[in-house]
Structure 1
Amino acid sequence: MECPPSPKVKLPTIEPFDGTTDPDDHLSAYKYQMYVQVVDDSTWCKNFSATLKGLVQKWFNNLPPNSVNNFTKLSILFTSHFVANRQEQKASMYLGKVIQGPKEALRSFVKRCNLEALQIQDLNAGVAFDAFSRGLRPGSFKFDMVKKKITTLTKALREAEVFIHATEVCAEAKHPETKKIEEAVQPKKNNPKKAETWALTSMTTSSRRSKRSEPAASMEPIEFSKDQYSILMEIKDQHELKTRAEMKTPYRNRDKCKYCHFHKDCGHEINEYKHLKRALEDMARKGKMNSYLPQGGIRKFQKRDDR
């Protein structure tokens, strides 16, 4: 193919194609480097041979004379001849298989989801967001995303970046002054308050006497209609909960990807905090949580006077 001499043209610095990789990837890499140079179509064709090697170079040299008159034609011949090496194009259904593991960090899940989405051509934005939200493990981030009414993958990824950053910042060592303040507000152990006695209204007098002597741990667990995080966000300004105890797990052994809104620290999620569940159960036995108990079969709790 004859072409007029062109001014200084920088040859593409890409890995030579030997016929064992995806021809589309090689063609794209070549185009990206040639676009920045103002050259004619014949120069595109001539310089393309410099990015080939081995048997592929022989294939290019054996092209029939006058069979290529532009780079578009050459691209079609190239990709058609090495079509067997093309990577399989994934459908959008593959994205639905990306699910966050029970202990997988949010950063890891977002990375896997992005890598899978990049392999899907013409991915619908709505399908991508639906797959992302379905794959998320229930927790604080998913709750915040629903609360903020996020409906696009772009906004969801932006929120994920902010959430990850906030979690990592909160996971850093606390300031000494902050720790002293938290220790100061802890209740004194040598001055315990008198425990209040609560019982079911349906109990008889004899059963109440036996119930009073039983430890609190033997009480039947109470199931709520909402998760602990949702309940805490709704009642924190209405009821005063017991002062939260400092986490006992050493900082270095905590899960930095989990954040507790009750402790204002990392280590576990609020829905996993057993002490908060017991505090909410105590309030339920006082009759202050009836709106969060499941409808049907609700047993009313009432305070009993000790006389």
Structure 2
Amino acid sequence: MATYDYRSSERKRTDQRIVTRFQRENEALCSAARTIDSPFDEILNAVSPRKFSMPVFILFDRTTDPIDHVYHIQLKMALNTENDPLMCKCFLTSLAEPMLNWFKNLPRGSVDSFCSLCDRFISQYYGNKRPAKDIFSLFTMKQHEDERLQAFLTRLNLTKNMVIECHPSTAVQAFKLAITRGTPFHTSLVVNTPQTMEELNERADGFVHLEKEETANARKTSIISTEEKSKAKIRQKQTPSQRQTS
């Protein structure tokens, strides 16, 4: 009597599901790129890797830096950067609808590699490129009143990343001048100044956690105080007998 090999049957079904998913994803890639007189030529006919899974991209909508967007695509596709056709197809899925119209208007067969696609893309939206900042932009920064340390750290690091050739010690000095004077963190920087922004950020993490804990404790105290006031108002409205019963 023949026996039913459950494991073999389950393996076949799993393989079939993988093949079906691969075919569906490959068709989605091709449909995203296939247009009338497409700028892609041979790229459309290239087959995607069998086990490729489409990453989730941040859509480019002309509000961000095109160079940053290309870098974002390269990071997401780090395992497939040598597959030019796949990089090109996936790049299209990261464009919002108005940007796809730009791609459709490119001459037929004008894109034959990911590099040429990026060159055309950056040239088209170069006006969206974030302008580089000079070192003086760091020294003009100040922590706003009631601005939390974590928010200020994020704002300062974003500015620092836009400064060309910013020496670590210079960035640390700019931060020390920008932080609110008299705070525990500022005192810590004055007593023992870090040598790099990495050291500064590591030390700042402890003060960020302390700030969060103090905020949470203050919120709890406020809630308890509000509850006590509510109970006091209720007791004031009660008669002596009701108070005794309570």
TM-score (normalised: structure 1):
0.47
**Distance of aligned partners of 1:54 and 1:168 in 2 relative to their CA distance in 1, 3 Å threshold:** closer
1:5 aligns to 2:64 (yes or no):
no
Q: 1:69 aligns with which of 108, 112, 124?
A: 112
Q: Supply the AA of the counterpart residue of 1:150.
A: P
By how many angstroms is 1:78 displaced?
A: 0.7
1:31 aligns to 2:74 (yes or no):
yes
Q: Supply the AA of the counterpart residue of 1:5.
A: V
Whole-angstrom distance in 2 between the partners of 1:54 and 1:102:
41
Q: Supply the AA of the counterpart residue of 1:158.
A: E
Q: Supply the AA of the counterpart residue of 1:58.
A: N
Q: Supply the AA of the counterpart residue of 1:49.
A: L
Match of 1:124 in 2: 167
By how many angstroms is 1:155 displaced?
A: 1.8
Structure number with higher relative contact order (C-alpha < 8 Å, ≥ 6 residues apart): 2
Percent identity over paired residues: 28
Return the structure number with greater strand share.
1
1:87 aligns to 2:130 (yes or no):
yes
Q: Is the 8 A contact 2:88 2:113 kept in 1?
A: yes
Q: Is the 8 A contact 1:12 1:34 kept in 2?
A: yes
**Distance of aligned partners of 1:152 and 1:74 in 2 relative to their CA distance in 1, 3 Å threshold:** same
Q: Is the 8 A contact 1:141 1:163 kept in 2?
A: yes
By how many angstroms is 1:55 displaced?
A: 4.3
1:28-177 equivalences in 2 (<5 Å): 28-37=71-80, 40-101=83-144, 104-120=147-163, 122-139=165-182, 140-166=184-210
**Distance of aligned partners of 1:162 and 1:65 in 2 relative to their CA distance in 1, 3 Å threshold:** same
Q: Supply the AA of the counterpart residue of 2:205.
A: E
RMSD of aligned C-alpha atoms?
Answer: 3.2
**Distance of aligned partners of 1:154 and 1:83 in 2 relative to their CA distance in 1, 3 Å threshold:** same
Q: Is the 8 A contact 1:95 1:116 kept in 2?
A: yes
Q: Supply the AA of the counterpart residue of 2:125.
A: F
The SS at the match of 1:116 is helix
The SS at the match of 1:36 is helix
Q: Structure 1 stretch 119-128 or stretch 100-109: which is displaced more?
A: 100-109
Whole-angstrom distance in 1 between the partners of 2:194 and 2:159:
21
Number of residue pairs the alignment of both structures matches: 175
By how many angstroms is 1:127 displaced?
A: 2.1
**Distance of aligned partners of 1:164 and 1:17 in 2 relative to their CA distance in 1, 3 Å threshold:** closer
Q: Is the 8 A contact 1:12 1:51 kept in 2?
A: no
**Distance of aligned partners of 1:80 and 1:137 in 2 relative to their CA distance in 1, 3 Å threshold:** same
Q: Is the 8 A contact 1:16 1:51 kept in 2?
A: yes
**Distance of aligned partners of 1:110 and 1:48 in 2 relative to their CA distance in 1, 3 Å threshold:** closer
**Distance of aligned partners of 1:50 and 1:137 in 2 relative to their CA distance in 1, 3 Å threshold:** closer
Match of 2:243 in 1: none
Q: Structure 1 stretch 134-143 or stretch 14-23: which is displaced more?
A: 14-23
Q: Supply the AA of the counterpart residue of 1:57.
A: L
Structure having the higher Rg: 1
